[in-house]
Amino acid sequence: MIGMAKGMVTTLKHFLRPAVTEQYPNVKRTLPERSRTMFVLPLDEAGVPACKACMLCAKSCPNGAITMETEKRTDGPGRVLTYYRIDLGLCMYCGICVESCPSDGIAFTGDYERASADKADTLIVLHDARGGDAE
């Protein structure tokens, strides 16, 4: 009997508190500044991705979620990015790719609404200079 009374007191305490439920689709939550969300390749002044094609992000990704293709520059030393894809089905949003980039060539956008029932939607092409479409 005492156990039942304790349970009723606990229930009554929670019943009198204000609700903390967020009405998600109508009211979107403000995320912290350093949240790990969707990816973007920032553009430089010329309108091309700031990525220097060093491939550190792809090499440092623990799950191998990043696919890159590069070509040699025709106007000097170095390489130029031609294709950049992230498989969000493999990505664990650890942020190592963003932290390892020496040129700030990849960043988080703050967009977290990417849910989909189709597995093909987990492959996002951030840059395709080969003639394909990029998101």
User: At 34, is the pLDDT very low, low, confident or very high (cuts 50, 70, 90)?
Assistant: confident
Report the share of the chain in percent with pLDDT over 90: 56
Asked if residue 132 has pLDDT above 80, the reply is no
Continuous H helices in 66-118: 96-100
Count other C-beta atoms under 10 Å from residue 15's C-beta: 7
Ordered domains of the chain (ranges, CATH): 32-128 (3.30.70.3270)
pLDDT for the residue numbered 116: 85
Question: How far apart are alpha carbons 97 and 86 in whole angstroms?
Answer: 11
**CA-CA-CA-CA torsion sign (72, 78, 84, 88):** positive
pTM over 0.95: no
> What is the average per-residue pLDDT within 15-32?
83
pLDDT for the residue numbered 115: 82
For 81-109, what is each residue's pLDDT tens digit?
A: 999 999 999 999 999 999 999 999 999 99
